[in-house]
Homo-oligomer: A and B are copies of this chain.
Amino acid sequence: MTTTPDTWSLVETAFDVRNNRHYESLLAIGSGPLQQRAALEEGLRDDPQDVDYLRVIGDITADESPRFKSRVGTYLPGVSGPHPTCRDQMINLPAIHGLIIFAAGERLDLEHGRISNYIRRLDLRTGRLTRSFVWQTQAGAAVRVCFERFISAQRRHVMALRCSVEHVDGPPAELRFIGALDAEVRTNGFDHFTSIDITGEHEPITLAVRTNSGIDVAAAALVTCDRSVLWNVDLEARWVGLSGTCILDPGQTVRVSKFAAMTSSHHVAGSPLDAARNLAWEAATTGFDRLAAESDAVWRERWDKTDVVIEGDPAGQLALRVSLYHMLRAVVEDDPRCAIDAEAAAGEAYCGRYFWDTEIFMLPLFLYTRPEVGLTLARFRVATLDGARRNAERSGYPGARYAWESSPSGDENCPNRHCADHEVHVTADVAYGLWHAHLANPDDLRFLQDVTEVLIETARYWCRRVSYTSTRDQYELLMVMGPDEYTPFSRNNAYTNRLVAFALSLASFAWQKLERLDADAVAVASGLRAGRCAELGDKLQLADGELARFADVAGKLRLPYDESRRLVLQSDDFFDQEPLDFERCWPDRARRLEACVAQERLYRSRVLKQADVVQLMALFPHEFDAEQMRVAYETYEPLTSHDSSLSRPMHAVVAARIGKHDEALRLWRQSVGLDLAVASGPRSGRSDVADGIHAACAGANWQAAILGFAGLRTRMQSEILHLDPHLPASWTALRFPLVWDGQPLFISIEGSRVTIEHRGRKPLDAHICGQRCTLKPSQSCSVRPPCRPKL
């Protein structure tokens, strides 16, 4: 693949079966509730998808799964079920994209057939995937095959596909097309379907399954052709296809279209089968081109609110758009019952589970571009509070404890107890994220009330989780794994302790805010009944003194800090670990450190997967001075392997803020390029995109650009709009839309000038390049920074 000046297209210029699974993730299409890996329509001849195998993620018995050439994947996020060893996981549903092609009995197969002029392109602007190539058939005819496919952004449960075959050489070709619905799939080697019903008597053909979690999923499909073809129905136990044959004479072109829909009892109140059938019919009636136009319009609107224009760095521009594309594709804009899983529903790694990724890495993008979408995303944690309560109860705690790997129910599903039991910061991250969503949507008082409930319940958990040390009159957190998973059982992890103290303070603060609003007539008019505090207090049986205890623990929670070095400590015990010589142990930086040094040794070494203190400073920059940030960065970055995809973008944020511009750009480029490695040349050992997209990294790449280079402070960091750009020298301009305090803005940073176009209705105070100003509706405001000494 070569990078073209087209910064809207991800292009694959040759088919290599070894890279196939990677491209299936990278070119995944979808639109919220329906997601699909970019598996080939015609499939691969000898790559069965129904192999039963088992996998225990993160464990010593890990991944002894067979090596597949492809992983056909079709997902309805939120539709999950129990796996024998992986616990609850997102289910790979029946495939609806299949269109098998034969020429005189020879099956089209990119691996074994004679293929030339191959090109595949994902148009990021529209989410439309096209692929064309010339197939020299064994019967002598050469045909040019072109596939086009998308999932409608307007009718989000509908997939449309069109295949044109043009005769380019040789004798007439006898072509046979089979459009199929196929339940011969597994999820991490397991068959989740307890029943399968297939119909093929009348169009559309349908396939309905019941999952082992009791969810009914239905798919329907029609196949049409631009010439008269007799379509026959082929039925098997788990598969149904419509097959038709035609003869293609020299110079002729035939076009076959397939319209498919998939929905479930999780999504519709009535019969999912009826719904799927209707959706497929309506799509076929509408036709490919009109469906495409409809969908394109929705995508255009999304991009208008989201796109970040980088001038002077076409590779970076494309790479960032890939990150944004996957975020826009994966978010379910209107359904708080699921968040965005770790792989953005582009694969089965991490089993479709939800991590702290949502709150800390992905949420900000939405909160500052489409705050209402961000609100829905954040609501997932409100919707799963009961699951968090169950997690707390299961380990003997009061209150609520969010799962390290959350299923759609909120229950803990992480198979690795190191993380499930000890990586507790997620519960504080959830509090942080919910408050962030509240600040971006301050008028939703119902949400504030829900957030307050979560804050109180999680504060109760924290109050039992801390240990009190009377000699210092301090609270401590023992046996904690911070975000850095190479220091698994630390004493007072700085990141965790600071976040927990913050979450505890918020609990009291939110309650007081709610009390004030209770007494406020305007709020009452907005739908918040007076007396809600009393109601919530009753519901939670809030005891006298509980709020005071939250504040007390927050105030006395230890933050490990070395005054003499002005260094915030990773943890109390980090520097007691053994030094690790990177030069000797990690000669090949293209591999992950953890591939070179055993986990057991990493656990006792003074080495970080990601620097927690840097991450902390990215979230709370206003609490640290420049010197503290510099000392922390210069201490920890050299000890950091960046084995986690979450590491580099947050380092880039901090590096940009402390004036390490070259380093920030280097880190950002590595980060946006991570999932693209397969597309950028030789296979990198550090990219593993075969089973999904690094979703948190995608969200964080936006943060690195906007919070790092544009120098935006979030609402958690500043009450007024605050921009302090540090563009890399090679970037001639950075332009992006932004919503601040409900007001849509458009920001252009060119050289040293910042121009803010106010597209909203309310004046805003701002702090731009060190200068205070007021932004007026429908006006543009330009600011040049004063000269600043280099740090």
Contact = CB atoms under 8 A, between A and B. Distances in A.
Contact of A600 (B467, B479, B600): B479
Contacts of A394: 598
Identical copies in the complex: 2
B84 A417 contact: no
Contacts of A87: 60-61
Contacts of A59: 56, 59, 415, 417
A188 to B, nearest CB: 12
Nearest to A64: B84
Q: Give chain A's interface secondary structure class.
A: loop
Interface in A462-506: 467, 478-479, 488-489, 491
A56 B54 CA distance: 12
A597 to B, nearest CB: 6
Contacts of A84: 53-54, 61, 85
Interface in A565-581: 576-578
Nearest to A190: B54
Contact of A422 (B56, B416, B577, B600): B600
A195 interface: no
A762 interface: no
Interface in A222-278: none
Nearest to A579: B467
A489 B467 CA distance: 18
A131 interface: no
A287 to B, nearest CB: 48
Interface in A80-116: 84-87
Contact of A396 (B420, B578, B597): B597
A414 interface: yes
A169 interface: no
A603 B479 contact: yes
A586 to B, nearest CB: 12
A417 B601 contact: no
A396 B594 CA distance: 11
A488 B418 CA distance: 11
B415 A61 contact: yes
B420 A60 contact: yes
Given A60-B412, A422-B600, 6 more contacts: A61-B85, A61-B415, A84-B85, A467-B578, A479-B604, A491-B576
8 contacts: A54-B54, A54-B84, A56-B56, A61-B84, A61-B415, A421-B603, A478-B604, A488-B489
Nearest 10 interchain pairs by C-beta: A421-B600, A479-B604, A395-B598, A478-B604, A467-B578, A54-B84, A396-B598, A489-B489, A479-B603, A85-B85
